[in-house]
Amino acid sequence: MGKKDMDEEQLAILQDMLLSDSTRLGRMEELLRLLLAQNIMRECEKIIDEPRPEYPVHIFFNCDKAKSVAAMNIMYNKCAYSDSMKGRRQLMDKIQKEIVKKRIFVKPDDMKMIIHTDLNGNPVEVSKYIRYGAVFTLNLYGW
């Protein structure tokens, strides 16, 4: 039986039998690397596609007495405070500095309530005790 008489399947079997063990191992390693890389890519895609929780940040605005949105310029203070104890303390420091500079006004009786609300409650509620200033919360995504 000559080479011309063999069909393609028989030729493939014969070629496979002639391959050395090291060549077979090399091909198997290559296949395993490829499969591993595909699995890693699938897992990475799952992680990337997972919805991430929103992360609230608090922003202090100087504004007019009516607290109109048109009077609030985010570029004036250029700062957002994280919803952590450190971030809330920094927000409180900002409010106190604005009081000292007389850019915002707070009744002395309301100062304890502002501190308590900022550190323990919803910082947005601080706005009702401040004249010419407001705090808003925005959600940061993709962090």
Q: Domain range spanning residue 12?
A: 3-49
Q: Which residues have CB under 8 Å from 64's CB, separation 6+?
A: 71, 132
The verdict on 105 and 61 lying in the same domain is yes
25 and 70 housed in the same domain: no
Residue 27 has pLDDT above 80, yes or no: no
21 and 59 in a single domain? The answer is no
Q: Which tens digits make up the pLDDT trace of 108-143?
A: 889 888 888 888 889 999 999 999 999 999 888 766
Same domain flag for 95 and 110:
yes
Q: CA 129 → CA 26, 53, 63, 123, distances in Å?
A: 73, 30, 14, 11
Q: Are residues 132 and 70 in the same domain?
A: yes
- Answer yes or no: do 16 and 77 share one domain: no
DSSP 52: P
Verify that 28 and 93 share a domain, yes or no: no
* Residues 74 and 42 grouped into a single domain: no
Q: With a threshold of 0.95, does the pTM exceed it?
A: no
Same structural domain for residues 18 and 67?
no
Q: How many domains does the chain have?
A: 2
